C-alpha cells in the first residue's frame, strides 16, 4: 500500500490542521496510508511519527496550531541529521512526502526532490510572501485579526487624541501590514519593501491633524526599516534559527517614540505578535487549506514530484517548488499605491 508522510514546518498558522485533515480524507479514498511526522523535519530525523486515521483528524478543521507540531529544524545543517533523514525515510518505507511550509520548509523539500526523493509541497505562511502562488493559507486569518485590532485601537485613539502605532508580523514582506492597513483605514503603513523616513511619516500625521483629525493609526510591519539603515530590521533577540533568521520585533517602539518626540502628539504602541498566528482559521483559509490538501494527495497520485499546490486566480494548480522558492513575493507597487491614497 502506498504510504505518504506528511509534516508541518516553520512558524505555525491557522489552517494547518485543515490541510492535514484534507490530506488524510483524500488519501483514505485513494487507499493510501498516511504517516504524520512530528515537529517538522525533526520528526523524520528523530523518527517521531504517528499513523493518521479518519479518527485522528476528526474535528480538527477549525482548530488552530497543528496536531503534528512544528519546528524550524533544518536537516541540511548537520550531516548526521541529513543521514538520519535518508535512513528513516527508507526504514519507514515512505513512498512520498507532503511538506506543508513556507520558504524554509519548502526549500528543504526542493533539495530533497533534487536528490531524487518523492516530495510535494503545500504553501503556508501568514506572511503571504511565498512565490509561485497568489495566496498562502493563514494570511487571510492574520489580516482579519490585525484588522480587528486596528478597529479596536481606532476607538481608543479617538477618545484620547493619540497616535496609535500597531506592529504586525511580516519579516520580508509587508502583506499583513498593507492589507490590514487598507481594511482598517490606517493613516500610514510602513513595510519592509519601502524603507521609511520618519520626517515624512510625521508630516503625514501633522497634515491629518491639521485638517481636524486629532488621532492617527500607523501600521508597521516588524521587518520595516528606516531609510538611514535599510534592510537592518529591529531584532527582539540576537538568537538565530536553523535557517539563519533572527527573531524580529520592536520597530514599533522606535517609530512610536520618534513620532511622539517629533510631533508632540501622545503616542502608544501595540505589538500584536503571535496573536496573529493563533486560533481558528477564517472560512476563506479553511477552504483554501482544504483545496491545497486534496490537491497535494492528487499530486502524489499523478507523480508530480517536486511540485507545490498553488492558487492562481481561483484555480488550484501545481507549480515547481524551484519556482516557488526562487524569490519571495513582495508587496506590489499597485497594491501599495491604493494604501497610499489614504495616508495622512
As measured in angstroms, the least distance from the Cβ of 139 to ligand F6P is 10
DSSP letter for each residue of 156-189: HHHHHT-EEEEEE--SS--HHHHHHHHHHT-SEE
Strands annotated E in the chain: 3-8, 33-37, 49-52, 96-101, 119-123, 163-168, 188-190, 216-221, 235-240, 246-248, 267-271, 307-312, 315-320
Taking the CA of residue 196 as centre, how many other CA atoms within 13 Å lie in the half-sphere pointing to its CB? 28
Using alpha carbons, select from 327, 296, 63, 336 the residue that is nearest to residue 186.
Answer: 336
As measured in angstroms, the least distance from the Cβ of 126 to ligand F6P is 5
Nearer to ligand F6P by C-beta: 217 or 221? 221
As measured in angstroms, the least distance from the Cβ of 12 to ligand F6P is 8
Nearer to ligand F6P by C-beta: 88 or 141? 141
As measured in angstroms, the least distance from the Cβ of 277 to ligand F6P is 6
* Cβ neighbours, 10 Å, residue 18: 25
Taking the CA of residue 208 as centre, how many other CA atoms within 13 Å lie in the half-sphere pointing to its CB? 24
The CA-based angle 85-90-95, given to 5 degrees, is 105
Nearer to ligand F6P by C-beta: 202 or 242? 242
Nearer to ligand F6P by C-beta: 20 or 142? 142
Nearer to ligand F6P by C-beta: 94 or 255? 255
Q: 3-state class of 343 per DSSP?
A: coil
* Cα separation, 270 vs 153, whole angstroms: 9
Phi, psi at 313, each rounded to 5°: 65, -125
Nearer to ligand F6P by C-beta: 136 or 290? 136
Q: Which residue has the cell 533534487?
A: 114
As measured in angstroms, the least distance from the Cβ of 71 to ligand F6P is 10
- Per 3-state DSSP, what percentage of the chain is helix, strand, and coil (rounded to 5)? 40, 20, 40
What is the widest separation between alpha-carbon atoms in the chain?
71
- Indicate if the alpha-carbon torsion angle 8, 294, 138, 191 is positive or negative: positive
As measured in angstroms, the least distance from the Cβ of 178 to ligand F6P is 14
Query: Would residue 151 show up in a list of annotated catalytic residues for this protein?
Result: no
Do residues 305 and 98 lie in contact, with contact meaning Cβ atoms separated by under 8 Å?
no
Q: Which of 127, 129, 140, 285 is catalytic?
A: 127
As measured in angstroms, the least distance from the Cβ of 125 to ligand F6P is 5
Which residues here bind ligand F6P, judged by CB under 6 A? 11, 102, 125-127, 169-171, 222, 247-248, 277
Nearer to ligand F6P by C-beta: 13 or 182? 13
Query: Residues with catalytic annotation?
Result: 127
Amino acid at each position: 500500500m502506498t504510504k505518504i508522510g506528511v509534516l508541518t514546518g516553520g512558524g505555525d498558522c491557522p489552517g494547518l490542521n485543515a490541510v492535514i485533515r484534507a490530506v488524510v480524507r483524500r488519501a483514505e479514498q485513494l487507499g493510501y496510508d498516511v504517516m504524520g511526522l512530528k515537529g517538522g523535519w525533526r520528526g523524520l530525523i528523530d523518527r517521531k511519527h504517528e499513523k493518521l486515521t479518519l479518527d485522528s483528524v476528526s474535528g480538527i478543521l477549525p482548530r488552530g496550531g497543528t496536531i503534528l507540531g512544528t519546528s524550524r529544524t533544518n536537516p541540511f545543517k548537520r550531516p548526521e541529521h541529513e543521514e538520519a533523514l535518508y535512513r528513516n525515510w527508507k526504514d519507514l518505507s515512505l513512498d512520498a512526502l507532503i511538506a506543508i511550509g513556507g520558504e524554509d520548509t519548502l526549500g528543504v523539500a526542493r533539495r530533497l526532490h533534487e536528490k531524487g526523493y518523492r516530495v510535494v509541497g503545500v504553501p503556508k505562511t501568514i506572511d503571504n510572501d511565498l512565490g509561485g502562488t497568489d495566496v498562502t493559507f493563514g494570511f487571510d486569518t492574520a489580516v482579519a485579526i490585525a484588522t480587528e485590532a486596528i478597529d479596536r485601537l481606532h476607538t481608543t485613539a479617538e477618545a484620547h487624541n493619540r497616535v496609535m502605532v500597531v506592529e504586525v508580523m511580516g519579516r520580508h514582506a509587508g502583506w499583513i501590514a498593507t492589507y490590514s492597513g487598507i481594511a482598517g483605514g490606517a493613516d500610514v503603513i510602513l513595510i519592509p519593501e519601502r524603507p521609511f523616513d520618519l520626517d515624512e511619516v510625521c508630516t503625514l500625521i501633522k497634515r491629518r491633524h491639521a485638517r481636524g483629525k486629532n488621532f492617527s493609526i500607523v501600521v508597521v510591519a516588524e521587518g520595516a526599516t528606516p531609510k538611514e539603515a535599510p534592510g537592518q530590521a529591529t531584532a527582539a533577540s540576537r538568537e538565530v534559527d536553523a535557517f539563519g533568521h533572527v527573531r524580529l520585533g520592536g520597530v514599533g517602539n522606535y517609530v512610536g517614540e520618534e513620532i511622539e518626540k517629533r510631533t508632540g502628539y501622545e503616542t502608544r504602541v501595540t505589538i500584536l505578535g503571535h496573536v496573529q498566528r493563533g486560533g481558528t482559521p477564517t472560512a476563506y483559509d479553511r477552504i483554501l487549506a482544504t483545496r491545497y490538501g486534496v490537491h497535494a494527495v492528487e499530486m502524489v497520485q499523478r507523480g508530480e514530484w517536486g511540485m507545490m499546490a498553488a492558487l492562481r486566480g481561483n484555480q488550484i494548480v501545481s507549480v515547481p517548488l524551484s519556482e516557488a522558492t526562487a524569490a519571495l513575493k513582495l508587496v506590489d507597487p499597485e497594491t501599495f499605491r491604493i494604501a497610499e491614497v489614504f495616508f495622512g
